[in-house]
Structures are given as structure tokens and as C-alpha cells.
Amino acid sequence: MANLSGSKIESLSGSLGAQVEGMDLRSDLDDETVAGLRRLLLDRLVLVFPDQNLSSDEQRTLMAHFGEIEKHPERPQILEGSAEEVVVITPSGGVSAVWHCDYEPDFTPCGLCSLNMVECAADGGGDTIFVSAYRIYESFSERMRTLLDGLTAVHRNTGNSGRNRDEAHFPLVGIHPETGRRGLLYSAHHVQDFVELMPEESEMLLARLQLLTQRPNFGLRYHWRPGTIVLWDNRRVQHYVVPDFEGSRLLYQVTVSAAMPTPLPEYTPPIEGEYGAPVSELAAR
Ligand SMILES: [Fe+2]
């Protein structure tokens, strides 16, 4: 595990997640600590820091250590006493009770995401479930992985008017730019088709991928407490909010950019062109 002296690091499930205690994220983090946290994040995919109680500005300062802050299409606000906008998540804005990864306004998956739980639901509901895209990929047989390695996933924007395109195509399998590890770039709610397969074949594979996404042994169900901040590598993690709560709760989200997975050497794009552009859009040029 990462060299984070003085911190207590505990694995949260077999597939992903680590809890880091004894670190004050408000303090000025040195380069070695940031590098250690990044290594731990890349390895465990989800990091949980309880009892931090960061303001939205402190959360932005923390995340700026990990990359350039991204604009987010959903509900950005400037809070009273803050300098910059932050994404504010409340139940009235809807709950993401679908398996998904987060997307930038141009409908490219976000890089590294953070959620800061300010106020939990009073009834104790609203857990978040995270699932590892490495584990889903690795659960397929070698023959099936060879098939997956050649597929282009069609991501469809469903009902979010803040994004500036409705469809994007990415290789289903790619190499993580920082770990070199193969895995899926996959969002069960958004990936609705594969360019290289017949519709019935896509349906069959999507059903399998959705089933694996929901399999408890690839995931981590996290029960929030106020003051906790969670970071995840959105390039290899899907998440789901359990919609079992009533009343108010409040979270802030800050996201930073990170390089997208690179296509496998054996992957051939259906049409040469801009990464993520829909095939239909490329064909029209
Ligand atoms: Fe989300």
C-alpha cells in the first residue's frame, strides 16, 4: 500500500475501496503524500476519508492536487462565502439510482471524482454502491475477453440536457494510462449498443454486463456519515445511489480531469477519427 505515514489504511472490500484515517485533508499536502494517495486510489479505485468536514472551497483545493478541476453539467452553484462554483447534490435534484459513471459536458467520462457528504439522510438511507470495472472484465473467460477487446461501446446520453452531445463511442476495453491495466470503460445506464454486433447480440452481452455490475462480489456498499469525503477513479468505477431514503441530504461534488484509457493495440476503430466521436458523426464528415 501507499506510503502515507501516520495514517491508518484499511481495505473496505475484496474488490475495491480503502479507508484512510488520521490524515487532515485541510493541511497543505506535500508532493509525496499526494503521489501516495494517487497510487492508493489507482490501486483501490475508491478512497474514503471519514471526519474531514471540508468546505466546498477546501474540497476544491484538495482536488486541485490531483488535476485540473472540470466543469460538471449538473447543478453547479456558487455557495455563500465560496469563491468558485461547486456541484451541489440534494434529493430534490434527483438521485442517481442507476448504475453509471459520471460524464463531462462533452459526454466523455470524467476523470477523478470526489463527493463530500455534508448532511446525511436522517433515516440512514442513501448508501452509495461502487463497482470495479477491472473485476467485471477479469470475470470473463479468455475467449470472451478477446471478443470484448474488439468492441466499440455506444454511450447514449439519456435525459441530461446539460451535455452537448447525445452519443459518444469509446472502445469497451482500454489500457489504464496510469496503471497499464486492462479494464472496461463502461456505464450500464449509458452503454446501450456495440458498433460491431447485431442488436440481438448487443442485447445478450449488455444483459451479462448488467448482471455482473450488480454482483455484490465486485462492489462496495458504502454507508455515509456527515463529514466524509470519497474519491474514486471514474474511469474504472461505476456507482449507484440506493434510493431508500426520504427527506433532505446535501453533498458537494468536485471532479478533476485525467487521461482516458488508451485503446488496445489490437483494437481497430470502426472509422478513424476523433476519440469518442459517434461513428455516424464521423461518417458524415
Ligand atoms: Fe454519479
Interval between CA 262 and ligand 1 midpoint (Å) = 23
- The string of pLDDT tens digits covering residues 58-115 is 999 999 999 999 877 567 778 878 878 788 888 766 678 999 999 988 899 999 999 9
How many angstroms is it from 100 CA to the middle of ligand 1? Answer: 6
CA 284 to centroid of ligand 1, rounded, Å? 32
Q: Cα of 248 to ligand 1 centre, how many Å?
A: 18
Q: What is the pTM of this model?
A: 0.93
Specify the DSSP element, H or E, that contains 229: strand 229-233
- CA of 212 from ligand 1 middle (Å) equals 19
CA angle at 198 for the pair 195 and 203, rounded to the nearest 5°: 95
| C-alpha 17 – ligand 1 centre gap (Å) | 17
Count CB-CB contacts under 10 A for residue 56: 23
Which residue did the predictor score with more confidence, 77 or 25?
Answer: 25
**Mind listing the domains of the chain with CATH numbers?**
1-280 (3.60.130.10)
What distance in angstroms lies between residue 131's CA and the mean position of ligand 1's atoms?
A: 12
Residue 272, Cβ neighbours under 10 Å: how many? 7
> What pLDDT digit, counting tens, does each position of 236-277 carry?
999 999 999 999 899 999 999 999 999 999 999 887 666 677
